[in-house]
Amino acid sequence: EPEVTQTPSHQVTQMGQEVILRCVPISNHLYFYWYRQILGQKVEFLVSFYNNEISEKSEIFDDQFSVERPDGSNFTLKIRSTKLEDSAMYFCASNRRPGREGLETQYFGPGTRLLVL
């Protein structure tokens, strides 16, 4: 069964460093998402991406964050200058199509646990 994959599973970085989290969505999916979950808290939406551009982003997704689909398979989240409060689990998700046309479920990757020291 196809699945979303994420690398690395864990990353430790120093405050102020740049990190890139990688995701490979399910191959026939067209819509991609990043969410984060601070330890012990709920899962929060960061950004959605379709047709090589951001379609929606949350207040959390400030100028320190960026997303990219550098090739036909990868979808990345970059944090330019990490802060302590960026420590969280980051989940990538994908689906084929959203909205009123017929919602497709978002399937989540296993997550990347980021620790900023």
Partner 1 sequence: AQKVTQAQTEISVVEKEDVTLDCVYETRDTTYYLFWYKQPPSGELVFLIRRNSFDEQNEISGRYSWNFQKSTSSFNFTITASQVVDSAVYFCALSEAPDGATNKLIFGTGTLLAVQP
Q: Which of 23, 25, 33, 77 binds partner 1 (CB under 8 A)?
A: 33
Q: Is 107 in the site for partner 1 (CB under 8 A)?
A: yes
CA distances from 16 to 12, 29, 55, 83 (A): 12, 33, 27, 6
Would you say 52 or 100 has its CB closer to partner 1? 100
Segment near partner 1 (CB under 8 A), from 15-23, 45-53, 59-67, 78-86? 45-53
Site string for partner 1, 84-103 (x = CB under 8 A): -----x-x-x-x--xxx--x
Shortest gap between Cβ of 106 and partner 1 (angstroms)? 6
**Any contact of residue 11 with partner 1 (CB under 8 A)?**
no
| Contact call for residue 7 and partner 1 (CB under 8 A) | no
- The CA dihedral of 35, 40, 84, 107, to the nearest 10 degrees, is -20
Binding mask 52-71 for partner 1 (x = CB under 8 A): ---xx-x-------------
Residues 6+ apart with CB under 8 A from 33: 45, 46, 47, 48, 49, 92, 93, 94, 106
Q: Are 47 and 54 in contact (CB under 8 A)?
A: yes
Give the H or E element holding residue 46.
strand 43-50
